[in-house]
Chain A
Amino acid sequence: MSSLPASNSPSTGSFTQDVFVRSLASLSHLPGWWLDLKNKAWNEYQALPMPRRTDELWRNASIQNLRLDGFVLPERAGPLLLPGSSPAFKAAAGLAFANNRLQATTPLPPDLKRKGVIFETIEHAAVEHGELLRRHFLAQPVKLGSEKFTALHTALMTAGALLYVPPGVELAEPIVITHVVEGPGAAIFPHTLVIAGENAKVTVAEFFLSADPAAGNFSSGVNDLHAEPGSQLTYLSAQNWGRGSLSFQTNSTVVQRDARVLSLNVHLGGRQSRHESHSRLQGPGAHSEMLALTVAQDAQEFDQRTLQSHLAPHTSSNLLYKNALLDTAKTIFSGLIIVDPDAQKTDAYQSNRNLLLSSEAEANSLPGLEIQANDVRCTHGATSGHIDDEQMFYLEARGIPRQTAKELLVFGFLEEVLEKLENEELHSALREMIKNKFKR
């Protein structure tokens, strides 16, 4: 193996020792173990090299554009913004963060509080629910390439939410979390930790936005989902970062016996966005539904890396990632299904569909399988194609203008993923966000 000179590897960019020390100083009221964790993460961030051209986990990615210079930790709170122009939907409770600070709270209704539901900022939880947080916080690390940026997240993160739903409790309405970033080069580090107790049922929706649609912001976020036996957890996230932004989002999902997790990630904004998602199926009957929708335009790059780990027999997972590409946009999907030797009777599916809408767009697919058990059903598929001429002809023959027909067909393509959401209001909120993107 060739190794690069040491001077070339550690790189902290705008996030210098100074920045970290100041951030840590403002947290002196928090428990020692929490601060230790941050110190450890900071050392890790400094030690880890930036991604290199030969890293398989960064294959096809434009790593030359991953510069960490020109960003700042915002000094003041940002404005309070609600997701786009979407109609407000009913939520059980909500937390709204701006520039790494809590801005607004919709508290839990008393009956849910009484049943033991916890929905707090992560810093509050560090003090009040230390044991619960300690047990689950970054308990199952994701190793899909962004470890350096996740370490940075852990070191500088101050805004985050902990949601705990006790065994048997069901929430009829979703929990909503928003993170807004404002100011030139402003950097945020959103964190969400969801624990669904045995047979609990909950839906969480998360929105990430830049106040200025043209901004060059930075975000490194983490969301960890724990589904205890028999629970049902639906997680939805939508990002619409400013056009010049660089973002990383890492997800770890752990699904226990007979639990079911559905996660849907909608990617719209940013200059370069990387999303990593790792589902671990740990008990018989566990199921993970991994969905994503991306609309890539201009020179945007969306880089999605996934891992489906089947660690127990009789588990299933289903992944569907759809990308619509316009202009000179670029997408990368790299997925892997790993079936452990003990995970017999696994049923795993992985599919990446790319719809190319311009002559300059580029879609990369790296769908992978590593199967070590024989009694399994594992398939994957990847397609990259264009709008079907016959469907176009059908619509145009009925007097629908070309542009409208094209939009209809693109929406038809994306709808297959959206319709998996049971919550109608969330469904239409997302559809609205995507529509706005096409309007430019």
Chain B
Amino acid sequence: MSSLSDTELIPTPPPSENSANSVAGIDQALGDFSYDVKYALDAGTGLTEKTVDYISAVKKEAPWLREFRMNALKAFFAKPLPTHWATRDLENINFDKIRYYLASGQKPKRTWDEVPEDIKRTFERLGVPEQERKYLAGVEAQFDSEAAYSNIREVVSKQGVIFLNSTAALREHPDIFRKWFGKVIPTGDNKFSALNSAVFSGGSFIYVPPGVKVSHPLQAYFRINAENFGQFERTLIICDEGSEVTYMEGCTAPKFSTSTLHSAVVELVALKGAKIQYITVQNWAPNVYNLVTKRGLALEEAVIKWIDCNIGSHLTMKYPGAVLKGRKARGEVLSIALANDGQHQDTGAKMVHAADETTSNIIAKSISVGQGRSTYRGLVHIPRHLRGCRSNTECDALLINTNSRTDTYPAITVRGDLNSVQHEASVSKVSEEMIFYMQSRGLTEGQAMSLAVNGFVNDLVRQFPMEYSVELKRLIDLEMEGSVG
């Protein structure tokens, strides 16, 4: 870190001096900085029709898209906050103080050399160039609203894969993307999907042609970089018949002194026999409200698999789901959540069975440290006249400290006598015997605890790509430091 020239850094104000950050923020240290970036285009704060007009005009969007945004804006204003079931913490979001659009006014770059120096430095701090060297596939890194840097590996485009940001994709390939855009997650699905639909910018649109198996994971890094600035990416991945893709999304963000809103919409479409695996490692700063809607549509024999890992943010509400619309379609969610002081990880999964012989599997593990609170919220729905559907849910919660908290709220509806569903959940702590065993072999209590927690999530972490599982293990170690004793 010290190798960077300090003179070009505008230090951020120190985070509010609560002791929580010293524990919660350890792993965010890497992202704890901010550069003075000159935002060429700025829609100001607050949200009105003018904001939406502005965004649409800057992006030179087609009239249908502008109309889509306007309708979404109406839906956003009309819908109440879902506080009848969700935490009232949502009421602390001040929608008038948020910037809804911000772009550096540059076209997405294709090669590393073309990327402006100051932006490059941000990525360097985040380790993006290394990732680029490491990962063999394309890198789509988002800097604030617009993709400032995008490198689609030639191999991938030769296969006919389209990998663009949302604006470019809707402009250049409306024939492909418009058909599914907003179809898996309708605008009015919830207040925050409506918000995203009104002001979205950035994100990735991917189309994989029939039979193409993208051998390397596609990857995107998101980052929030301006105070009070919410980020509203829009991602749509369409896998045509028999194709396969893995997409990875990881994020770190600098610490800010006031709340930041992140509200993405991610839609996946897996046509007949296609397979989409979507991996997220979420590590926002502890002041971020991360309210995300993620859903996949799986047609016949298709597979949607969400691997979702939430470590950062102040409040995350995210329930990746799958609508299993074709015979023998399969949905999977593997979820890991770690809630430290001042954090609430409200995560889970939604599985809607809409065809015969569909199967779903949800494995969720959460760890609550200090005063952290983790919540599992799940929905499994098997409507009438279906046969041969199966669903399995397991959620395990680990409580580290006496004041840690965990909740579980599943909702299961099954109709008919030809399907079976099971749900199991358990809450436990790290056993004293286990800690004693390790301590008597020379580990400190902290190391022992860290090892126990890593063991708790190990069978899930193993399913992550190698780089991610290494990173995850390191993050857990950092989070567990100082949690005991």
Chain A interface (Cβ within 8 Å of chain B)?
1-2, 54-56, 59-60, 341, 344, 354, 356-387
Q: Does the CB pair A2–B80 fall under 8 Å?
A: yes
Residue ID in chain A nearest B368 by CB atoms: A374
Complex Cα gap A60–B407 (Å) = 20
Q: Is the CB of B85 within 8 A of A56?
A: yes
Among listed B58-66, B319-327, B393-401, interface-contacting one: B393-401
Could you say which residues of chain A place their CB within 8 Å of the CB of B422? Answer: 381-385
Q: What separation, in Å, do the CA atoms of A375 and B426 have in the docked complex? A: 13
**Sampled A-B contacts (27; CB under 8 Å):** A2-B80, A59-B411, A60-B413, A344-B402, A359-B417, A362-B414, A363-B413, A364-B412, A365-B412, A366-B409, A366-B410, A367-B408, A367-B423, A368-B407, A369-B406, A369-B407, A370-B407, A371-B427, A372-B405, A374-B399, A374-B404, A376-B399, A378-B426, A382-B412, A384-B419, A384-B422, A386-B419
Chain A contacts for B423, CB-based, 8 A: 365, 367, 380-383
Q: What 7 pairs across the A-B complex have the smallest Cβ distances?
A: A374-B399, A384-B414, A385-B420, A386-B417, A369-B408, A365-B412, A378-B427
Residues of A with C-beta under 8 A to B404: 374
Question: Is the CB–CB distance between B83 and A371 below 8 Å?
Answer: no
Cα(A354)–Cα(B421), bound, Å: 10
**What separation, in Å, do the CA atoms of A377 and B431 have in the docked complex?**
11
**Which residues does chain B contribute within 8 Å of A366, judged by CB atoms?**
409-412
Interface size on B, residues (CB 8 A): 39
Taking a contact as CB atoms closer than 8 A, the residue among B402, B407, B416, B420 that contacts A374 in the complex is B402
Contact B427 A375 (CB under 8 A): no
- Give the distance to chain A from B374, nearest Cβ to Cβ, in Å: 10
Q: Of B385, B401, B413, which contacts A359 at CB under 8 A?
A: B385
In the complex, the answer to whether A383 meets B421 with C-beta atoms within 8 Å is: yes
Cβ 8 A contact of B428, one of A1, A362, A377, A386: A377
In Å, the complex CA distance between A55 and B84 comes to 7
Per-position contact with A for B421-455: 1 when CB-CB < 8 Å, else 0?
11111111100000000000000000000000000
Contacting pair A361 B411 (CB below 8 A): no
Do A356 and B416 touch (CB < 8 A)?
Answer: yes
| Interface membership of B418, Cβ < 8 A | yes
Kindly provide the distance from the CB of B402 to the nearest chain A CB, expressed in whole angstroms: 5
* A369/B427 in contact, CB under 8 A: yes
Residues of B within 8 A of A354 (CB): 414
Chain A residues closer than 8 Å to B399, beta-carbon distance:
371, 373-374, 376
Give B residues with C-beta under 8 Å from A: 80-81, 83-85, 384-385, 397, 399-429
Give chain B nearest CB distance to A301 CB in angstroms. 13
Closest to B400 in A: A374
* B427–A376 touching, CB < 8 Å: yes
A368 touches B408 (CB 8 A): yes
Within the complex, the shortest CB–CB distance from B416 to chain A, in Å, comes to 4
Chain A positions within 8 Å of B418 at CB level: 359, 386
- B376: nearest chain-A partner, CB-CB: A369
Q: In whole angstroms, what is the CA distance A82 to B13 when docked? A: 77
Instruction: Decide if A357 touches B425 in the complex (CB within 8 Å).
Output: no
Most buried by B among A363, A371, A375: A371
User: Taking chain B's interface residues, is the majority helix, strand, or loop, or is none over half, making it mixed?
Assistant: strand
Separation of A214 and B401 alpha carbons in the complex (Å):
56
Chain B residues lying within 8 Å of A378, measured Cβ to Cβ, are 426-427
State how many angstroms separate the Cβ of B315 from the closest Cβ of chain A.
17
CB proximity of B235 to chain A, nearest CB, Å? 30
Cα(A364)–Cα(B379), bound, Å: 11
With A354-B414, A384-B412 already in contact, 15 other A-B pairs whose C-beta atoms are closer than 8 Å:
A1-B81, A55-B84, A356-B416, A361-B416, A362-B414, A365-B413, A366-B412, A374-B400, A377-B428, A381-B424, A382-B423, A383-B420, A384-B419, A384-B422, A385-B419
Complex: how many Å from CA A374 to CA B83? 27
Q: Is the CB of B427 within 8 A of A379?
A: yes
Residue of B nearest to A332 (CB): B413
Contact A360 B416 (CB under 8 A): yes
Chain B contacts for A56, CB-based, 8 A:
84-85
Q: What residues of A have a CB within 8 angstroms of the CB of B428 in the complex? A: 376-377
Are A360 and B406 touching (Cβ within 8 A)?
no
Contact B420 A386 (CB under 8 A): yes
Complex: A380 Cα to B412 Cα, angstroms: 13
> How many angstroms from the CA of A159 to the CA of B461 in the assembled complex?
61
Q: Which residues of A contact B413 (CB under 8 A)?
A: 60, 362-365
Q: How far is the CB of A389 from chain B (nearest CB, A)?
A: 11
Which residues does chain B contribute within 8 Å of A364, judged by CB atoms?
411-414
User: Which of A364, A370, A380, A384 is most buried by chain B, counting CB atoms within 10 A of its CB?
Assistant: A384
**Are A368 and B420 in touch, CB under 8 angstroms?**
no
Minimum Cβ distance to chain B for residue A314 (Å): 15
- Residues from chain A with Cβ under 8 Å of B419 in the complex: 356, 384-386
Q: How distant is the Cα of A129 from the Cα of B452 in the complex, in angstroms?
A: 58
Q: Which residues of chain A come closer than 8 Å to B426, judged between CB atoms?
A: 377-379
Specify which chain A residues have a CB less than 8 angstroms from the CB of B80 in the assembled complex.
Answer: 1-2
Alpha-carbon separation in the docked complex, A2 to B397 (Å): 34
Distance in Å from the Cβ of B410 to the closest Cβ of chain A?
A: 6
**Do B397 and A371 touch (CB < 8 A)?**
yes
CA distance A358 to B416 in the complex (A): 6
Q: Give complex CA distance A360, B423 in Å.
A: 21
* A377 CB → nearest B CB, Å: 6
- The residues of A that contact B414 with a CB separation of less than 8 Å are 354, 356, 362-364, 384
- CB of B409 within 8 A of CB of A368, answer yes
Distance between Cα atoms of A371 and B399 in the complex (Å):
9
The answer for the CA separation of A367 and B427 in the assembled complex, in Å, is 14
Instruction: Give Cα A363 to B413, complex, Å.
Output: 6
A385 contact set on B, CB distance < 8 A: 419-422
Task: Give complex CA distance A371, B402 in Å.
Answer: 11
Contact partner of A376 (CB less than 8 A), chosen from B401, B424, B429, is B429
Q: How far does the Cβ of B344 sit from chain A's closest Cβ, in whole Å?
A: 13
Closest to A52 in B: B84
How far, in whole Å, are A341 and B401 apart by their CA atoms in the complex?
11
Q: CB-CB < 8 A to A384: which residues of B?
A: 412, 414, 419-422
Report the bound CA distance from A13 to B465 in whole Å: 62
Alpha-carbon gap, A362 to B384, bound state (A): 8
Bound Cα distance from A359 to B411, whole angstroms: 20
Who on chain A is nearest to B414 by CB?
Answer: A384
Cα A380 to Cα B395 in complex, Å, equals 10
Chain A residues in 8 Å Cβ range of B427: 369, 371, 376-379
A379 x B415 contact (CB < 8 A): no
* Residues of B with C-beta under 8 A to A383: 420-423
Contact B425 A369, beta carbon cutoff 8 Å: yes
Given A382-B423, A383-B421, A359 and B416 touching (CB < 8 A)?
A: yes
Residues of B within 8 A of A380 (CB): 408, 423-425
**How long is the Cα–Cα vector from A368 to B425 in the complex, in angstroms?**
9
Q: B80 to chain A: closest CB distance in Å?
A: 5
Smallest Cβ distance from A31 to chain B, in angstroms?
41
Query: How many Å from the CB of B87 to the closest CB on chain A?
Result: 12
Q: B412–A374 contact, CB under 8 A?
A: no
Q: How far is the CA of A367 from the CA of B298 in the complex (A)?
A: 28
Q: Which residues of B contact A367 (CB under 8 A)?
A: 408, 410, 423, 425
With A and B bound together, what is the CA distance between A54 and B83 in angstroms?
10
Q: Are A375 and B84 in contact (CB under 8 A)?
A: no
Name the contact of A360 in the complex, choosing from B384, B411, B425 (C-beta under 8 A): B384
* Interchain nearest-CB distance for A152 vs B (Å): 24
> Which B residue sits closest to A334, measured CB to CB?
B411
B420 to chain A, nearest CB (A): 4
| Nearest-Cβ distance from residue A50 to partner chain B, whole angstroms | 16
The residue in chain B whose Cβ has the minimal distance to the Cβ of A367 is B410
How close is A344's CB to chain B, nearest CB, in angstroms?
7
Taking the closest CB of chain B, its distance from the CB of A111, in whole angstroms, is 48
A386 to B84 alpha-carbon distance, docked (Å) = 34
Smallest beta-carbon distance B234→chain A, Å: 28
